[in-house]
Amino acid sequence: MFFFLSKLLPLFIYPLGLVCALMVVAAVVLRRWPSVGRGCLILGVIVLWSTSTPWAVDQVVGGLERQYQDWASLETLPQAEAIVILGGATAGAMAPRVYPEVLESGDRLLHGARLYQAQKAPLVILSGGRVQWQVQTDPDSVPNSVPNSVLPPIASEAEDMATLLQGFGVPGSALVLEPQSLNTYQNALYTAEILRERQLNTILLVTSAIHMPRALAIFRKQGLTVSPAPTDFLVEVPATLGFSWKEAVVNLLPDAGNQEKVSRGLKERLGLWVYGWRGWL
């Protein structure tokens, strides 16, 4: 139930869900309490606009990413006993996809392969299961030309990552799969078990920069010696502080891409609070 609620409830805190809720409230109360209805409408517009600007992205996302940006290059990272790559970077081979594909956060795989090829560690642990409702079970949603009897089982994220990494040149003998975890806490818990079984303790943790503060704290809570290896940065540091009036005007316009980034940042900040409350950090 915690996992389900952790996916459902934040939707009403993210900008889009909050605005939708405000619009519903406005529609219900507008005739009886016009001032309340108008207030909800105005607040909805403010939320929608303010969370769709580059300034909001820098405040919500940049503050998370900048915590470990100095660890992004190979030269700053020490040698370790294992590289741990967290899931959330792949889309499974579900119709119409024939092969696993990388998502925007697929930089996690590229960076993990880069670290291995730089000989930062001899072992790569891939951590990630697949949520039950993401598994393909409806035969009507696959092509009619594919008999049910030959439909392959849907792979875990760890298996998808292994398939892709071997295509990037990482040998299968260097890969260890952890295919059960469904959230970051389980990533750390199950990976720590694998490391203890192998009597390993020192790792390089690869995940998106926005996710690194929460992930790093959870893995260190397991008693591991962890060095952050962030990638998939969303906020760029401008080359200069100056900008033209045209750029300023464009930056004031709402952008759906900015709002998606802000939602991700809010998810991480909420996750830090919830995980801390549960004693996982």
Question: What is the average pLDDT across 240-247?
Answer: 63
CB–CB of 130/154 below 8 Å? yes
Q: How many CB atoms lie within 10 A of CB 94?
A: 16
pLDDT of residue 262: 94
Euclidean distance between CA atoms 254 and 238, whole angstroms: 20
pLDDT grade for 16, boundaries at 50, 70 and 90:
confident
pLDDT band of residue 161 (cuts 50, 70, 90) is very high
Average pLDDT over residues 131-135: 58
Rounded Cα–Cα distance for residues 14 and 114 (Å): 34
Which of 177, 7, 159 is closest to 91 using CA atoms?
159
Write out pLDDT tens, residues 70-103: 999 999 999 999 999 999 999 888 888 888 999 9
Smallest CA-to-CA distance from 168 within 81, 83, 263 is with 83
SS3 59: helix
Q: What per-residue confidence (pLDDT) applies to 122?
A: 97
CATH of the domain at 206: 3.40.50.620
Tell me, what's the pLDDT at 141?
A: 44
Does the structure show a pLDDT above 50 at 151?
no
Q: Assess if residue 171 is contained within a domain.
A: yes
CA dist 45 and 43 (Å) reads 5
Residue 257 token pair? 């891409």
The answer to whether residue 44 sits within a structural domain is: no
Question: Residue 96 sits in which domain range?
Answer: 71-136+150-231
Domain count, the chain: 1
What is the rounded average pLDDT for all residues in the chain?
87
Percent of the chain with pLDDT over 90: 69
The DSSP call for residue 74 is G
Give start and end residues of each alpha helix (H) in the chain: 2-8, 15-29, 34-50, 54-57, 63-65, 107-117, 157-167, 184-197, 212-221, 245-252, 256-277
Mean pLDDT of 157-175: 95
Residue 178, in any domain of the structure: yes
Q: With 50 as the cut, is the pLDDT of residue 239 above it?
A: no
Tell whether 108 is covered by a domain. Answer: yes
The whole-number pLDDT of residue 170 equals 96
Residue 276 maps to a domain:
no
Per-residue tokens: 60:
């919500």
User: Distance of CA 60 to CAs 159, 246, 273, Å?
Assistant: 32, 24, 14
Residue with tokens 């009886």, as numbered in its chain: 32
Q: What is the DSSP letter of 10?
A: G
Helices 15-29 and 34-50, axial angle in degrees (round to 10): 160
Which residues make Cβ contacts (< 8 Å) with residue 134, sequence separation at least 6? 92, 94, 154
Residue 105 counted as domain residue: yes
Residue 142 has pLDDT above 70, yes or no: no
Over its C-alpha atoms, the chain yields an Rg (Å, rounded) of: 21
What does DSSP assign to residue 60? Answer: I
* Paired strand residues for 101: 91
Round to whole Å and give the CA distance between 92 and 98. 9
- 122 lies in some domain: yes
pLDDT on residue 146: 46
Assigned domain for 255 exists: no
